[in-house]
Amino acid sequence: MTIPGFGRRLKEQEMVINMGPQHPSTHGVLRLELIVDGEIVVDMIPHIGYLHRCFEKHAEQMTNYQQVIPYCDRMDYIAAMNNDFGYVVACEKLLNIKVPERVEYIRVIMAELQRIASHLLAIGTYGMDIGAFTPFLYCLRDREKILDLFETTCGARLLYNYMWIGGLSHDIPANFQEKTRNFCRTFRSTIAELNELLSYNKIFIERTANVGVLPADVALNYAVSGPVLRGSGVQWDLRRNDPYSIYDRFEFEIPMGKGEMGTVGDCWDRYIVRVREMEQCVRIIEQAVEKIPEGNVQSAVPKRIRPDANEVYVRTEAPKGELGYYIVADGTTSPSRVKVKSPCFVNLSALPAMSRGAMIADVIAILGSIDIVLGEVDR
């Protein structure tokens, strides 16, 4: 029989297996159609679209640009602050708005706290995919501390609508800086615990080293970004290579995969890049917290948003990779088009290349190492 989507006939010893869309390790409603020869994956097609929520059509139907922000929250709902950041920066470029320095510093702090929270969930659930439950509890414990900071600032713990065009919905509370300093101090010891429990655990290394190898040239050809690209040894981070906001004012390093436990670009490299990125996030936050200037966080928020007919594209470094917003204005109070370049969607496209020749059990490890959120893939 000819297999739809694969363009060839099924060999006598091969079999088609569906993994998902309700599989506990697929990180969302994703269906992986596998051709297997025994336990070996010969080929794969990821089937998406089960969570389509019409983000771009919703954006066109809003009466003004500000109303789009809550829908941005709901794409990668694990990193809502970063979604909002990219959208408001794009709108501000469209409107030629210069936001106050205080707003810039607070945005960077919130974006980096959200990056840590996103990586903590990715690392914790990845450990569970491999069979380690305890690290998940450690990761969620510290993620809760970050969500507490968000809650004291804007009242929300998951979907924030915090970054507005021209400013912020709320100023930070009086004790925010001290609480953030305390978090940064204690979080370094958590990373050390995590490394001891999981990163250098013999079983974890055997399940992830030399598995799902994505060479640098293949990664570039698939246009993957974020920790998936840096895990393949490519030093590319928009915060450094194409700075936006005030990221050019901070000192931090760009962790890369080096093949320490296996081959450069394997699952372990993608995992350890996220762990080391959290350390760099703490460095950025500590620098920003000490330099927050005084000011009004809503002084540049426009009362009426009606840009001239124009178009703009802005890309930012979200926790999963390069998040791009293409906005078309037609002279009215609402956008004519809002197109999103999703890092999860692009990174997922490389999954078949990483999975061919792997064991079925390794597909779970490979998928978890990409760290996708289907809300953003399907939009």
Nearest-10 Cα torsion for 209, 215, 221, 227: 40
d(CA 376, CA 379): 5
Using one digit for the tens of pLDDT, what is the confidence trace for 272-329? 999 999 999 999 999 999 999 999 999 999 988 999 999 999 999 999 999 999 999 9
Predicted confidence (pLDDT) at residue 259 exceeds the cutoff of 70: yes
pLDDT band at 379 (very low <50, low <70, confident <90, very high): confident
Task: Report helix angle 176-194 to 134-154, nearest 10.
Answer: 170
- 256 alpha-carbon distance from chain centroid: 16
Take residue 250 and report the two structure tokens written for it: 């901070």
d(CA 335, CA 250): 33
Residues 170-179, mean pLDDT to the nearest whole number: 94
pLDDT at residue 220, as a whole number: 96
pLDDT at residue 5, as a whole number: 65
Residues 126-153, mean pLDDT to the nearest whole number: 94
Residue type, 292: I
pLDDT at residue 4, as a whole number: 67
What mean pLDDT is reported for the chain? 93
Residues 135-142, mean pLDDT to the nearest whole number: 93
Q: Which residue has the higher pLDDT, 186 or 23?
A: 186
Q: Which helix (H) or strand (E) holds 47?
A: strand 40-47
pLDDT at residue 28, as a whole number: 82
Using one digit for the tens of pLDDT, what is the confidence trace for 101-113? 999 999 999 999 9
Take residue 320 and report the two structure tokens written for it: 């999963």
Looking at the DSSP bridge assignments, the partners of residue 339 are 326
Predicted confidence (pLDDT) at residue 25 exceeds the cutoff of 90: no
Q: Nearest to residue 233, comparing CAs of 260, 208, 252, 251? A: 260
The alpha-carbon radius of gyration of the chain (Å, integer) is: 21
Residues 334 and 65: beta-carbon distance below 8 Å: yes
Residue type, 45: I
pLDDT at residue 3, as a whole number: 67
Architecture of domain 56-312: Orthogonal Bundle (1.10)
Take residue 193 and report the two structure tokens written for it: 């615990």
In degrees and rounded to multiples of 5, residue 234 shows phi and psi of -100, 120
Reduced to 3 states (helix: H, G, I; strand: E, B; else coil), residue 15 is: strand
Task: Work out whether strand 321-329 and strand 2-3 pair parallel, antiparallel, or are unpaired.
Answer: unpaired
pLDDT band at 12 (very low <50, low <70, confident <90, very high): confident
Q: How far is CA 265 from CA 79, 108, 220, 233, 362, in A?
A: 24, 29, 12, 7, 15
pTM of the model: 0.95
Q: Which helix (H) or strand (E) holds 204?
A: helix 202-208
Residue type, 168: L
pLDDT at residue 1, as a whole number: 58
Residues 30 and 47: beta-carbon distance below 8 Å: yes
Residues 33 and 45: beta-carbon distance below 8 Å: yes
Q: Which helix (H) or strand (E) holds 325?
A: strand 321-329
Residue type, 342: S
Residues 378 and 49: beta-carbon distance below 8 Å: yes
Other beta carbons within 10 Å of 272: 23
Q: Give DSSP secondary structure letters for 244-300.
A: -TTGGGS---------SSSSTTSHHHHHHHHHHHHHHHHHHHHHHHHTPPP--TTTT
- In the chain, the N- to C-terminal Cα span, in Å, equals 34
- The ranges assigned to domains in the chain are 56-312
Helices (H), 54-175: 55-61, 69-73, 80-95, 101-130, 134-154
Using one digit for the tens of pLDDT, what is the confidence trace for 314-363? 999 999 999 999 999 999 999 999 999 999 999 999 999 999 999 999 99
Q: How far is CA 306 from CA 65, 90, 303, in A?
A: 8, 14, 10
HSE value, Cβ hemisphere, 13 Å, CA-based, for 44: 27
Using one digit for the tens of pLDDT, what is the confidence trace for 187-246? 999 899 999 999 999 999 999 999 999 999 999 999 999 999 999 999 999 999 999 999
Q: Provide the 8-state DSSP code for 120.
A: H
